[in-house]
Structures are given as C-alpha cells and as structure tokens.
C-alpha cells in the first residue's frame, strides 16, 4: 500500500507561542508572547489575525524550535519512518492547539533521545485524551512532561533508568 505524504502547516496554531521560553525577548514559558497576532489589534481585514507579528525577524529561540507534530510531516522524516516501519504518531486532531499538548525536540545541549511535551492549558495531560497521546508517543521514545515546575518521564522502561539518572527526574508511577 502506497503512503500519501502528509502536508502540514501551523495554520491557526500558536501553541508554541504560549509554552516556549524565549531568552532573547525575556519571555518565560508561562508568559504570553507579546508578538502573537491573535492578541494584538489589527487595522483591517487584510491583516492576519493569527501567527507572529515579527515572524520574518523572529528570535533565534523561535527559529530553532521544532514542533514534532509539524516535523512528522517532513518528507525526510517520513522516508526514515517508512524505512523503520514506524507508525505515524500524530493525527490532525493532535495539532497542539487542538490537543493542548506541544511535543517538541529538546533544547540544544539536552540529550537527543528525550523529547519534551508541554501543556498548552493546565491539566490537559491528566485528561483521557491527553494521557492517551502521551502514552502513544512515549511507547517508542522517552518524553519528559513539563507542567510548571514538575517534570515527569514517560517511555520504554529500558530507556527510563538511564535517562532518569542522567537528568535527575522522577519516573511515572505505574498503576
């Protein structure tokens, strides 16, 4: 069976703007980004009402951010996933602004084997849909869930021990 390539774009999603800390502009992960167009007044219908008001000159932290929902549609990654017979992990409803969870690549300097997931709104990781998405993703890869000051690891048991030691994090409690 031939796979049809996925084409994805951010569309109206601005979830990364809500959860990403950006040192260049002094934005913490909990703060609202001052450049979000949906939060700024526009001068007319020709103006965009979502996205970034400084997109062309956005800070480096924003330029290098890698949303994994969006990255999964990258043709190079699709080719790699097909080679490994890896299933697609994210569907259209898993877009961060719809699911409430932003999965992203780790920051520079962090272990590459660990992905990060952040809540767009508090408590979404505790919902049935949120837990299901985290469990589906973490079945194949270690992920650290960041909720405020709390950090929790999920993932294949054989990987959790070494990552837990490396990062000094708590493991998810079973049962």
Residue ranges per structural domain of the chain: 13-65, 66-175
| C-alpha–C-alpha distance, residues 116 and 67, integer Å | 10
pLDDT in tens, 72-114: 877 665 555 554 455 678 888 999 999 999 999 876 666 566 8
| C-alpha–C-alpha distance, residues 90 and 73, integer Å | 9
Indicate the pTM of the whole model.
0.78
Give whole-number Cα distances, 6 to 77, 117, 141, in Å.
Answer: 11, 22, 21
User: For the chain, where are the E strands, in sequence order?
Assistant: 101-104, 114-119, 142-147, 150-154, 170-171
| C-alpha–C-alpha distance, residues 135 and 111, integer Å | 20
- Determine the average pLDDT of the residues in 137-142: 86
């Amino acid at each position: 069976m031939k796979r049809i390539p996925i084409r994805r774009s951010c569309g109206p999603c601005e979830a990364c703007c809500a959860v990403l800390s950006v040192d260049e502009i002094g934005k913490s992960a909990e703060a609202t980004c001052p450049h979000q167009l949906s939060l700024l007044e526009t001068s007319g219908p020709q103006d965009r009402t979502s996205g970034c008001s400084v997109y062309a000159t956005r800070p480096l932290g924003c330029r290098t951010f890698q949303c994994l929902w969006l990255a999964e549609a990258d043709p190079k990654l699709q080719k790699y996933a097909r080679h490994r017979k890896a299933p697609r992990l994210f569907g259209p409803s898993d877009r961060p602004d719809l699911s409430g969870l932003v999965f992203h690549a780790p920051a520079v300097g962090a272990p590459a084997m660990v992905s990060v997931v952040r809540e767009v709104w508090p408590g979404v990781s505790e919902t049935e849909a949120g837990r299901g998405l985290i469990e589906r993703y973490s079945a194949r890869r270690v992920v650290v869930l960041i909720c405020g000051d709390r950090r929790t690891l999920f993932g294949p048991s054989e990987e959790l021990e070494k990552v837990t030691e490396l990062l000094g994090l708590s493991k998810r409690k079973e049962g």
